[in-house]
Amino acid sequence: MTKFLMFFRYNEENMPVDFRFIDLQCCKKASPATDLNYFFFLSLNGELRMTKRDIMTKIYYDSFREVLEKSGKALPFSFQELKEELKERSLFGLCCAILGLPIVLAEGDEILNAEQYNSRILQFTQKNTKNYRKKIFSETDC
């Protein structure tokens, strides 16, 4: 089961040159910082998140601004405000990672169905604590 859709566009050398991210599972009116933190904490390891977060946030901000401008709307926040809100809401991303990583990192017979989830999640979490720490806490700013 995927959590979101990712679309890539490739050049003639079969290298990715563009990317689109679509997540419709939790549609709600909320801060973009909520969605960005969800993506950053569930999809990136700590080192990548810390070293590339500002670059990815700027790409997101510029793209969002462009879409709004084309629709005749003004961007309701500055890039600096978005960065501050990302930091303020980083605990949300951390909580999502704690809850979601057992599912995302499961392999083979570790993959749980709904009936097994409650009984086996603790075993899986304890077994994979080292992987979680590497994925979540390597140089995290929470």
Say if CB 61 and CB 79 are below 8 A apart: yes
* Structure confidence by residue, pLDDT tens digits, 57-98: 999 999 999 999 999 999 999 999 999 999 999 888 888 888
Greater model confidence, 45 or 62: 62
| Contacts of residue 20, Cβ cutoff 8 Å, sequence gap at least 6 | 6, 7, 8
Half-sphere CA count of 76, side-chain side, radius 13 A = 3
pTM: 0.60
- What would the mean pLDDT of 126-136 be, rounded to a whole number? 68
